[in-house]
Amino acid sequence: MKKRDSKSIDGLVRRSSGAKRSTHELGEVTPVRVHKVKPHNNTLEVSDDLEDVLQNLPVEVEDEPKKRKVRRKKAKKDKKPGRTKKIIKRIFLVLLILIIIGGGYLVYKFIKFGDNVFEGGLISLIQKEKLKEDANGRTNVLVFGTEEVGHPGADLTDSIMVLSINQTTKDAYMVSLPRDLYVGTCTSTGKLNETYWCSAQDDPAKEKEGAAALVAEAEEILGLDIQYWGHVNWEVLRKTVDTVGGVDVKIESSDPRGIYDPNFDWACNYRCHYVDYKNGETVHLDGEHALALARARNAQGGYGLPGGNFDREKNQQKIVSALQKKALSIGILANPVKVIELMDSLGENLHTNFHTSEVRTLIDLAKDVKNEDIVSIPLVDGDKDIYYMRTSNINGISVVIPSAGRGNYSEIHEYIKRSITNDPVAREYATVAVLNGSDIDGLGATEAKKLENAGYNVVNIDNAPEAIGNKIVVYQLNKDKTGTASALKKRFKAEIKTTLPANIASNSDFVIVFGKSTK
pLDDT (0 to 100) of residue 228 = 93
pLDDT tens-digit readout, 15-34: 444 444 444 444 444 444 44
Distance in angstroms (rounded) separating the CA atoms of residues 467 and 461 = 18
Q: Are 182 and 399 in contact (CB under 8 A)?
A: yes
Task: Give the list of residues 6+ apart from residue 219 with CB closer than 8 angstroms, or none.
Answer: 225, 226
Residue 336's pLDDT band, with cuts at 50, 70 and 90, is low
Adjacent-strand bridge partners of 474: 496, 512
Distance in angstroms (rounded) separating the CA atoms of residues 384 and 391 = 18
Residue 36's pLDDT band, with cuts at 50, 70 and 90, is very low
pLDDT (0 to 100) of residue 395 = 87
Distance in angstroms (rounded) separating the CA atoms of residues 359 and 107 = 15
pLDDT (0 to 100) of residue 1 = 45
**Residue 493 burial (10 A CB sphere; 0-12, 13-18, 19+):** exposed
pLDDT (0 to 100) of residue 278 = 96
% the chain with pLDDT above 90? 40
3-state secondary structure of 363: helix
Q: Which residue has the higher pLDDT, 488 or 35?
A: 488
Average pLDDT, the chain: 78
pTM of the model: 0.64
Residue 104's pLDDT band, with cuts at 50, 70 and 90, is very low
The region that residue 16 occupies, defined by phi over 0 for left and psi between -120 and 50 for alpha, beta otherwise, is: beta
pLDDT tens-digit readout, 393-408: 998 999 999 999 999 9
Q: Which residue has the higher pLDDT, 70 or 506?
A: 506
Task: Say whether pLDDT at 160 is over 90.
Answer: yes
Distances (CA, A) of 317 to 175, 281, 296, 427: 9, 17, 13, 21
Task: Say whether pLDDT at 74 is over 80.
Answer: no
Q: At what angle do helices 234-243 and 287-295 cross, to 10 degrees?
A: 140
pLDDT (0 to 100) of residue 195 = 93
pLDDT tens-digit readout, 443-495: 999 999 999 999 899 999 999 887 667 789 999 999 999 999 999 999 999 88
487-494, Cβ contacts within 8 angstroms, sequence gap of 24 or more: 487/424, 487/425, 488/512, 491/454
Q: Are 135 and 141 in contact (CB under 8 A)?
A: no
Task: Give the list of residues 6+ apart from residue 375 with CB closer than 8 angstroms, or none.
Answer: 171, 172, 173, 174, 419
Q: Which of 52-61, 137-146, 438-447, 480-489 has the lowest mean pLDDT?
A: 52-61
Q: Are 178 and 409 in contact (CB under 8 A)?
A: no
